[in-house]
Amino acid sequence: MRVFIAGVDGYLGWPLAMYLTKRGHTVAGADNYMRRDWVQEMSSQSASPISRMTDRLEAFRDNFDRNMRFFKGDLTNYNFVENAFRSFKPDAVVHLGEMPSAPYSMIDVEHTTWTQVNNIVGTLNILYAMRDICPESHLVKLGTMGEYGTPNIDIPEGFFEIEYRGRKDRLPFPRQAGSWYHQTKVHDSNNVMFACRIWGLRSTDIMQGVVFGTRIDEMGDDQRLLTRFDFDQCFGTAINRFCCQAVIGEPITPFGKGGQRRGFLPLRDSMQCLTIAVENPPAKGEYRVFNQFQEVYGITELAEMVHRVAASLGIDSEIRNVENPRKEMEEHYYNPDHRHLFDLGYEPTTDVESEIAVMLNDLRNWHDRIEARREVLMPDVRWDGRREKVTYIDPAEKRGKIRAV
Amino acid sequence: MRVFIAGVDGYLGWPLAMYLTKRGHTVAGADNYMRRDWVQEMSSQSASPISRMTDRLEAFRDNFDRNMRFFKGDLTNYNFVENAFRSFKPDAVVHLGEMPSAPYSMIDVEHTTWTQVNNIVGTLNILYAMRDICPESHLVKLGTMGEYGTPNIDIPEGFFEIEYRGRKDRLPFPRQAGSWYHQTKVHDSNNVMFACRIWGLRSTDIMQGVVFGTRIDEMGDDQRLLTRFDFDQCFGTAINRFCCQAVIGEPITPFGKGGQRRGFLPLRDSMQCLTIAVENPPAKGEYRVFNQFQEVYGITELAEMVHRVAASLGIDSEIRNVENPRKEMEEHYYNPDHRHLFDLGYEPTTDVESEIAVMLNDLRNWHDRIEARREVLMPDVRWDGRREKVTYIDPAEKRGKIRAV
């Protein structure tokens, strides 16, 4: 299949290009290098020493014996999207080209409005270009499990059958997103669902859990093929940041009580899942939702797992809870379905503990790059609008508790 | 109270300024005259001969013995909103300043993306300015009943208690909006709800039905105080367009089968409802939803009512269904709650039939202004992306049926 990856320079996009190519697909990608700019804005850098795109493309050719077409440009420019689609004629469009950070979207009014405009307009442009240029193609759109929030009932995959006052219907499951960024994914879901309804487009909307990990096998040993790995407060996700903290001897810092539960999956299985979606397109006009994660964990559990695996590798670490800069429930029910991908053949290739060991080994090689930006690990963007570094909670008591685990 | 009306030059905003002033409130307003531009873009004009803002403000002073502060500018410019709020210090902000047309948002990619950006960014700017300047004030935000779509179950007011797989929660009612414009209202609802949650703002989100009518009593006989009245395919709502068609001898044109059911309320009662919301603010941090309409009617019922009232005034009219340019259910269950406003004292002051008589009398005075733009009454913006005038369906059979009613 001809697969167009929007956001091919990103954490997921770049490995996906290799993964799909290895499976025989013809891949093209677009990017505007914005992720590099955002991370720089956060005074941070990728822990992995990533190559610039020209070197990435050269390495791609060296390793996979074919060129990957690359379109440099901005998805909010309709002409750019239109020209790329006309030229490449995709069978599938994997849309990873959005601003993906909750804290970044919460910084101030400029960051909030920019985030919402950027994500919504990029997706609308893709929908219009599909309608007018490749109406039979399949949009694999990256959403997030965060769209659902943490309701006190089970979370189905996108839709649920309910009875209300004696009548029944199948309706979209209510969304209760927890940041301005997460709201953009909700807005996108509504827009994509509507486009499928009125224009007969087909789409898989991926409610993805938190992805972690440094590598996929397709990278081999060519350093030029490394994907980025962020650890700053905005672009580093929980496990990734915990591992970086362990490696440079900073405390591992769950937010608040640490009882927040989320779905997680390793980078390599994210590639597998996205590929399953690409290779099994829905019917014309169908809008379907996949909840994409391997297993649900509590944040404290993960912190403890990182602590334990680090110890087994001879890395001494400690866990210290910090104030929660977010407004979110810190103890709650959480039971989302995730059958659709398993039904299509998804088989987890690794468990969280083994993947953390792989990560810690990689990160040790990048110790100095993390150490040089250690101050970006502690968040200061707060949901109440203040910009002020969080502090440790009850340090003595918490440390005692953790040691006892 | 000090009430700031965003969109004070519009169909609802201008009469609301008078209505609130008459009740003793201090009103300020903002507008950028965009509605005038959009209607001009549709090759149309207001049926009522409206004054320019300078003349409106002078008439306002003459009739109400006080000045209304007016801020000319664009809500998508944060500095504009911030400066206006700092200067006026509102207790309540009534946000009527969005692009309100479904067909306009469906024209093409430029109109879609512009609509979504305009509406979403304007609302985000208002939320931020409230947080930073007047966090105790109350946002009365105009949404639409169209956010809910037409589910096969009852529609509660914003939230519902449900049981799912043996567990219970109170959740936002799922939204299934029917145009890119309606989607902006859904996006806004999500954004406003979130702002109340994280910043402790208070808001009433008004799911308003279709408003119709030419006047409110507060206008008296001063022609300079008239509000606008649109009849083009984009900015004229169903009853308003039906009445214009009757007055100039064009067939009254329900879309498709005409079995679409919607909530309706007269302009004067929309003023009453918005005022009830303003005068009864919710608690700090509370986000509440009012379904605001008087009664539910089918489109064919309304066409027949216009036909009947017109006949009683000596106006001969006929009903001819046209192709439906939209994608929507033309026969469906529809039973939305609307208790909250009644609980706070809303009392309908008129019935649809009497209000139609008032409208038809006004519109007869503006016959030539409608006649001059008669070609704008038949829609050509279609939900499938084509731009092509709709045509009559089975003219002979339909006309026979209607005559028999």
- The Cα–Cα gap between A101 and B44 comes to 44
Average pLDDT over residues A382-401: 79
Instruction: Supply the mean pLDDT for chain A.
Output: 96
> How far is the CA of B196 from the CAs of A139, A383, B192, B200, in angstroms?
33, 12, 6, 5
Residues in chain A: 405
The answer to whether residue B396 scores a pLDDT higher than 80 is: no
Mean pLDDT across the stretch A72-80?
A: 98
Give the closest of A154, A165, A175 to B165, CB-based: A154
Contact state of A172 with B172 under an 8 Å Cβ cutoff: no
| Number of cross-chain residue pairs from A and B with Cβ atoms under 8 Å apart | 138
In tens, the pLDDT along A162-198 reads 999 999 999 999 999 999 999 999 999 999 999 999 9
What span, in angstroms and rounded, lies between the C-alpha atoms of B78 and B305?
45
Nearest residue to B58 (alpha-carbon basis) of B230, B308, B225, B172: B225
Model pLDDT, residue B403: 46
A128 → chain B, closest CA residue: B109
Residues B201/B130, Cβ–Cβ less than 8 Å: yes
CB-based contact B174 A174, cutoff 8 Å: yes
Return d(Cα A102, Cα A104) in angstroms, integer: 6
Say yes or no for a CB contact (<8 Å) between A198 and B384.
yes
Instruction: List domains and CATH numbers for chain B.
Output: 2-215+267-293 (3.40.50.720)
**Using a CB-CB distance cutoff of 8 angstroms, which residues of chain A are in contact with residue B113?**
78, 120-121, 124-125
Cβ–Cβ gap B190/A171 under 8 Å: no
pLDDT in tens, B189-248: 999 999 999 999 999 999 999 999 999 999 999 999 999 999 999 999 999 999 999 999
Nearest 5°: CA angle at A276, between A275 and A281? 105
Query: A193 in the Ramachandran plot: left (φ > 0), alpha (ψ -120 to 50) or beta?
Result: alpha
Strand partners, B208: B292
Helix segments in A153-280, DSSP class H:
180-199, 238-247, 267-279
Cα distances from A364 to residues A118, A221, A243, A310, in angstroms, run 35, 16, 10, 11
The pLDDT assigned to B402 comes to: 47
Q: What is the pLDDT of residue B405?
A: 38
DSSP 8-class letter at B19: H
State mean pLDDT over B33-56.
98
Average pLDDT in the B335-354 region? 95
Test the B interface: residue of A130, A176, A284, A324 with most B CBs within 10 Å: A176
Asked if the model's pLDDT at residue A372 lies above 90, the reply is yes
Yes or no, beta carbons of B173 and A174 under 8 Å apart: yes
Mean pLDDT of A224-250: 97
pLDDT at A259: 96
Q: How far is B77 from chain A (nearest CA, A)?
A: 10
Interface test with A, best of B77, B112, B126 (most A CBs within 10 A): B112
By C-alpha distance, which of A14, A21, A20 is closest to A64? A21
- Tokens describing residue B292: 């605001």
For A372, B48, B168, the CA distances from A388, given in Å and listed in that order, are 21, 55, 37
DSSP state of A333: -
Nearest to B78 among A109, A187, A327 (CB): A109
pLDDT of residue A394: 73
Q: Give CA–CA dist B278/B93, Å, rounded.
A: 8
The SS3 call for residue A397 is helix
What's the mean per-residue pLDDT of chain B? 96
* Residue A391 burial class via C-beta count within 10 angstroms: exposed 0-12, middle 13-18, buried 19 and up: exposed
The alpha-helical segments, DSSP class H, found in A65-108 are 78-88, 102-105
Quote the Cα angle for B39-B41-B46, to 5°: 25
In the numeric block, the tokens 């009527």 are attached to B96
Average pLDDT over residues A193-207: 98
Report the candidate in B198, B41, B39, B33 with the shortest Cα–Cα distance to residue B130: B198
Strand ranges in B16-135 using DSSP code E only, listed in sequence order: 26-31, 69-72, 92-95
SS (H, E, C) A162-185: EEECCEEEEEECCCCCCCHHHHHH
Handedness of CA B9, B11, B13, B19 (dihedral sign): positive
Q: Give the per-residue pLDDT at B404.
A: 38
Q: Give the pLDDT mean for A29-50.
A: 98
Is B401 among the residues known to form the active site? no
Helix (H) or strand (E) holding A319: none
Would you say A246 and A308 are in contact if contact means Cβ atoms under 8 Å apart? no
Backbone angles phi, psi at B404, to 5 degrees: -75, -20
Which of B154, B167, B191 minimises the CB distance to A154? Answer: B167
Angle at B301 between CA B297 and CA B307, to 5 degrees: 135
Q: What is the mean pLDDT of residues B301-328?
A: 97
User: Which CB contacts under 8 angstroms, 24+ apart, belong to B173-176?
Assistant: B173/A174, B173/B148, B174/A171, B174/A172, B174/A173, B174/A174, B175/A172, B175/A190, B175/B147, B175/B148, B175/B149, B176/A171, B176/A172, B176/B148, B176/B149, B176/B150, B176/B151
Under 8 Å between Cβ of B386 and B308: no
pLDDT confidence of B73, banded at 50, 70, 90? very high
Q: Which of B370, B375, B378 is nearest to B45 (CA)?
A: B370
Task: Please report the sign of the dihedral spanned by the C-alpha atoms of residue B294, residue B295, residue B298, residue B303.
Answer: negative
